[in-house]
Copies of this chain bind each other. A is one copy, B any other.
Amino acid sequence: MNEFDLIARLVETVAEARRDSSWGGHARIAVASGDDAAVTVPMGATATSVDSLVDGVHFRRQTAPLGSVGQKALAVALSDLAAMGAAPGEAYVQLGVPDDLDEAGCLELGEGLGQVAAEHDVSVLGGDVTRAPVLWLAITVVGHADSAEQLVRRAGASAGDLLAVTGELGGAAGGLLVLDRPELADAVGAEVADALRRRQLEPRPRIAAGRALAATGASAMIDLSDGLGGDAGHLAAASGVRLAIELERVPLQAGVRELAAAAEADAHDLAAGRGEDYELLVALPPERLEEASAEVAATGSTLTPIGAVDGGEGVVLRAADGSERKPEGFDQLRR
């Protein structure tokens, strides 16, 4: 099977997954795949983000099913659109395929991509498949909004804003612990351990929550890919403010506390120091909290206040005993 066949089959596979959804085609799309370029006619503003995954760096083929690799690649890219409050539109998929990955493996990967595309109404309009010594995926996603002003940036938080987070944290780091040390599952039971593993392998972009937050007046927003501490640092730097986070208020996924105890780790380190939870960190005026919480709840998630924005700079993590520290590694992370 040559490159052109494989691209065609991948596009078909993705399209089949989509046909099972309620999607019926988009007026925005003038030319889909099969030409030199895809053609769209966007209305308003577009948000574009790219994300790459490499075997051995972001996942391990030995432990991650290929379908989940495809899912994760697109989900992680879409998470950046969630952080802007954009509605997902189109995706483009570039794939480096090693000799030991056969056609069936590529299509399994494509099915995973297709599932996430179907779930979020994303049209995969183009791609490139090439030989490579190692499996890698490079995803481009394009989202839409009526105007650029409706999209929420990292810059925009100001002193007096509340800081809040969607969902629960620490699950992705907990899942990695369980994947690396399966005996730790005993500390939380099979069901909870499984949920933690899925959190690591199949992250879910908070698209609906992001749009709800954008619509209810978020001042600044970022998705938690590098960990709460590091990502809060990006938002603080972009906005020119200080973020003070009360660690006790950070919502932890079920099992994270028990798992941390069994692994002799700090539960808040799993939540604040590690990444890949792909929840949203948002700054918003206090008077918007009630409405924003209700709108996020309507998307099936939660919004939890975890701190405040003030006029300093950087990030401070405040423990229950009143002690304060900077996020680990924060000084190395600048953007």
Per-residue B-contact encoding for A65-97, CB less than 8 Å = 1, 0 else: 000000000000000110110100010111010
Please determine whether B52 and A128 come into contact, CB atoms closer than 8 angstroms: yes
Q: Is the CB of B80 within 8 A of A36?
A: yes
- Total number of A residues with any Cβ neighbor in B under 8 Å: 68
Across-interface contacts of A101 in B (CB, < 8 A): none
A134 to B132 alpha-carbon distance, docked (Å): 8
Question: Are A334 and B86 also in contact (CB < 8 A) when A48-B92, A92-B48, A153-B35 are?
Answer: no
- Give which listed residue, B8, B30, B57, B130, contacts A130 with CB less than 8 A: B57
- Which residues of chain A from 103 to 147 have a CB within 8 Å of any chain B CB? 125-128, 130-134, 136, 138, 140, 142-143, 147
Bound: A155/B34 CA distance, A: 10
Whether a CB of chain B sits under 8 angstroms from the CB of A21 is no
Kindly state whether residue A223 has any CB partner on chain B within 8 Å.
Answer: yes
Cβ of A247 under 8 Å from chain B? no
- A48 partner, pick from B2, B125, B130, B153, beta carbons under 8 A: B125
CB within 8 Å of B: which A22-43 residues: 30-31, 34-42
Cβ-neighbour of A46 out of B8, B35, B40 (below 8 A): B40
Q: Which residues of B contact A130 (CB under 8 A)?
A: 52-54, 57-58
Q: A133: which B residues are within 8 A, CB to CB?
A: 54, 56, 133-134
Closest to A334 in B: B4
With an 8 A cutoff between CB atoms, is A333 at the interface?
yes
* A1-21 interface code vs B (CB 8 A; 1 in, 0 out): 010110110000000000000
- A36-B83, A81-B37, A154-B36 known; A132+B54 contact, CB < 8 A: yes
| A50 beta carbon closer than 8 Å to chain B | yes
Contact B54 A46 (CB under 8 A): no
The answer on a CB contact under 8 Å between A335 and B4 is: yes
User: Would you call B50 and A39 a contact (CB within 8 A)?
Assistant: no
Q: Are A140 and B140 in contact (CB under 8 A)?
A: yes
- Please name all residues of chain B whose beta carbon is closer than 8 Å to the beta carbon of A132 when the two chains form the complex: 54, 57, 134, 136
A86: chain B residues within 8 A (beta carbon): 37
With beta carbons under 8 angstroms apart, the residue of B41, B48, B222 that contacts A38 is B48
A35:B138 contact, CB within 8 angstroms:
no
Residues on the B chain within 8 Å of A155, using CB:
35
Question: Is A184 an interface residue when CB atoms closer than 8 A count as contact?
Answer: no
Whether A39 and B126, one on each chain, are in contact in the complex, defined by CB atoms closer than 8 angstroms, is no
A266 → chain B closest CB, angstroms: 24
- In the A-B complex, the 10 residue pairs with the smallest Cβ-Cβ separation, listed nearest first, are A138-B138, A30-B148, A37-B47, A37-B49, A36-B83, A36-B80, A94-B138, A140-B140, A50-B92, A4-B335
